[in-house]
């Protein structure tokens, strides 16, 4: 994580993921076209936690799909590990707004899904799965089915699933949008713990400015549709972070600055 703070301009050191003037146009059913992303450029360094904030419909989710290789950009390139992303190939970990747990699998079997898909040896990962679940307070729920869990617990299990195979990159698409505020704070803490030791490279989409600043090393602010990068912020809050980090003066300054960018763009009054 120090790596990041030492480089004020993340694009300058070799990034793990880089968007180079990425544009995305959707063909609509009625022959119309929708420009979702307009020449987005940003770079995420190894072990960096990068948040993308922006108003609804600004193409944040599209950006994640492009990074995962699930969509192809209409123009520009997504580069990962020095190679252009041409399809799903890096086994990234994904967390969605809905937990997308498989109802017919137990919590443990859900967490081990990536291991099965990658045909790795399940027995070698059971301990890791249990310890991940333990880290987010789900010890004892290994053999429960998802329908026995609360929304927050389900999302925690989904995060464990995204981390089980130690992916080079974790993509999170508004993972906490459907939980209540208190649960959200707890989940933020869980996420900080899970992604800091050892540090993971995370691309995190949210529309909460506070959440973005609390969690991230870098915050990328997108404009309303079509999504353009309005500004990038490096977050210099000391680590390890916890909920008290929010009372730091730097936290308030950054949140204020990001809101200012939204106000200038006409998103906030």
Partner 1 sequence: MRRNAAVILTYGLALLLWALAGSLLPVPAYILPSPAAIAERIAREPARLALHSLVTLQEVVLGFLLAVLVSIPLGVLIVRSRTFERVIYPLLVAFQAIPKVALAPILVIWFGFGLTSKVSLAFVTAMFPIVINTVVGMSQTPPEMIHLMRSLEASGPQIFLKIRLPAAAPHIFGGFKIGITLAMVGAVVGEFIAADRGLGYSLLIANSAFDMPLLFGIVILLSALSVGLFYLIELIEVLVLPRPLRRKAMSIEPGAAA
| Least CB distance to partner 1 at residue 170 (A) | 11
Phi, psi angle pair for 190, to nearest 5°: -55, -45
CA distance 137 to 152: 11
Nearest CB to partner 1, comparing residues 117 and 243: 117
Q: Are strands 49-53 and 75-80 parallel, antiparallel or unpaired?
A: unpaired
Here the tokens at position 34 are: 């929708």
Q: Which is nearer to partner 1, 27 or 236 (CB)?
A: 27
Query: Smallest distance, Å, CB 70 to partner 1?
Result: 6
Among 1, 113, 177, 237, binds partner 1 (CB under 8 A): 113
Is 84 one of the binding residues for partner 1 (CB under 8 A)? no
Q: Which helix (DSSP H) or strand (DSSP E) does residue 251 occupy?
A: helix 249-264
Interacting residues with partner 1 between 91 and 110 (CB under 8 A): 91-92, 94, 96, 98, 100, 102-105
Q: Are strands 75-80 and 229-234 parallel, antiparallel or unpaired?
A: unpaired
Q: Using an 8 Å Cβ cutoff, are 203 and 44 in contact? A: yes
User: Which of 27, 83, 88, 137 contacts partner 1 by CB under 8 A?
Assistant: 88
- Compute the least distance from the CB of residue 96 to partner 1, in Å: 5
End-to-end CA distance of the chain: 35
Residues in the chain: 269
Instruction: Determine contact, residues 50/217, Cβ cutoff 8 Å.
Output: yes
Can you tell me the distance from the alpha carbon of 93 to that of 127, in angstroms, rounded to the nearest whole number?
Answer: 19
Q: Which of residues 156-195 bind partner 1 (CB under 8 A)?
A: 165, 171
CB of 154 to partner 1, least distance (A): 13
Residue 235 DSSP one-character state: -
User: x/- binding map, residues 36-75, to partner 1, per CB under 8 A?
Assistant: -----------------------------x--xxx-----
Smaller CB distance to partner 1: residue 117 or 268? Answer: 117
Interface of this chain with partner 1, residues 134 to 153, rule: CB under 8 A: 145-147
Distance CA 25, CA 178 (A): 28
CB of 165 to partner 1, least distance (A): 8
- Give, in order, the Cα–Cα distances in Å from 126 to each of 100, 129, 134: 21, 5, 12
Q: Which is nearer to partner 1, 87 or 266 (CB)?
A: 87
| List of residues contacting partner 1 (CB under 8 A) | 65, 68-70, 88-89, 91-92, 94, 96, 98, 100, 102-105, 113-114, 116-118, 145-147, 165, 171
């Amino acid at each position: 994580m120090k790596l990041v703070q030492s480089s004020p301009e993340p694009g300058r050191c070799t990034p793990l993921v880089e968007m180079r003037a990425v544009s995305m146009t959707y063909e609509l059913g009625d022959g119309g076209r929708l420009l979702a992303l307009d020449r987005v450029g940003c770079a995420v360094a190894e072990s960096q936690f990068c948040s993308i904030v922006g108003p609804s419909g600004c193409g944040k989710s599209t950006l994640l799909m492009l990074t995962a290789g699930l969509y192809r950009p209409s123009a520009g390139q997504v580069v990962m590990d020095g190679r252009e992303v041409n399809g799903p190939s890096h086994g990234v970990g994904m967390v969605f707004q809905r937990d997308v747990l498989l109802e017919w699998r137990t919590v443990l079997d859900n967490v081990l899904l990536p291991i099965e898909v990658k045909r790795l040896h399940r027995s070698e990962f059971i301990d890791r799965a249990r310890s991940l679940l333990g880290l987010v307070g789900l010890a004892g729920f290994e053999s429960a089915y998802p329908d026995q869990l609360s929304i927050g617990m389900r999302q925690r299990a989904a995060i464990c699933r995204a981390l089980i195979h130690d992916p080079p990159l974790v993509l999170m698409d508004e993972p906490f949008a459907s939980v209540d505020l208190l649960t959200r704070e707890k989940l933020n803490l869980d996420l900080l713990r899970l992604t800091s030791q050892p540090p993971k490279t995370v691309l995190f989409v949210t529309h909460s400015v506070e959440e973005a600043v609390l969690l991230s090393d870098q915050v990328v602010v997108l404009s309303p549709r079509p999504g353009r990068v309005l500004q990038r912020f490096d977050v210099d809050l000391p680590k390890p972070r916890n909920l008290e980090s929010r009372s730091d003066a730097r936290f308030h300054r950054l949140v204020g600055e990001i809101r200012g960018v939204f106000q200038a763009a006409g998103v906030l009054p």
